[in-house]
Amino acid sequence: MSKPVRRTAAVALAILKTPPHGVIFIERAAHLRDHPGQIALPGGSVDAEDGGDLRRTALRELREEVGVTADRVTIVGQLPITRQTRANNFDVTPFVATVAPGPLTIDGTETAAVFTIPLDVIVDELTKGTHTIGELTIETYLLDYESRRVWGLTGHILRSFVEAWGDASNPLRAAVEAALAT
- Which CATH number does 7-119+167-177 carry? 3.90.79.10
pLDDT at position 6, please? 73
Question: What is the DSSP code string of the chain?
Answer: -PPPPPEEEEEEEEEESSTTTEEEEEEE-TT-SSSTT-EE-SEEE--GGGTT-HHHHHHHHHHHHH---GGGEEEEEEPPPEE--SSTTEEEEEEEEEE-S------TTTEEEEEEEEHHHHHHH-EEEEEEETTEEEEEEEEEETTEEE-HHHHHHHHHHHHHHH-TT-HHHHHHHHHHH-
Going from N- to C-terminal start, the domains of the chain cover 7-119+167-177
pLDDT, one tens digit per residue, over 60-111 is 999 999 999 999 999 999 999 988 665 667 799 999 999 999 999 987 777 8
pLDDT at position 88, please? 63
pLDDT at position 85, please? 62
- pTM, two decimal places: 0.91
pLDDT, one tens digit per residue, over 28-44 is 776 556 655 689 999 99
